[in-house]
């Protein structure tokens, strides 16, 4: 299971017994942004606050 930024806010960093947790925090890059079509492609570890910063520009 991919691991988030470990804030605990969403409870998304819990694994089931015998499961593994994959730290994606360094996969935090914006790969593509197209304001015309309102789409973006980001890596799994990009934080929502960083996405919001891109969108506010």
Full pLDDT tens readout for the chain, 57 residues: 555 555 555 556 667 788 887 788 899 999 999 999 999 999 988 989 999 998 898
Q: Per the structure, how many domains does the chain have?
A: 1
Cβ proximity of 47 and 5 under 8 Å = yes
Question: From the CB of residue 5, how many other CB atoms can be counted at a distance below 10 Å?
Answer: 18
Between CA 13 and CA 46 the distance in angstroms is 15
Q: What is the pTM of this model?
A: 0.65
Residue 32 sits at φ, ψ, to 5 deg, of: -155, 140
Cβ proximity of 3 and 13 under 8 Å = yes
Instruction: Look at residue 45 and give its three-state secondary structure.
Output: coil
Domain that holds residue 6: 2-56
């Amino acid at each position: 299971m991919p691991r988030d930024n470990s804030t605990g806010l969403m409870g998304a960093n819990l694994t089931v017994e015998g499961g593994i947790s994959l730290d994606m925090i360094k996969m935090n890059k914006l790969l593509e942004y197209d304001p015309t079509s309102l789409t973006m492609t980001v890596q799994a570890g990009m934080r929502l606050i960083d996405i919001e910063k891109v969108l506010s520009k």
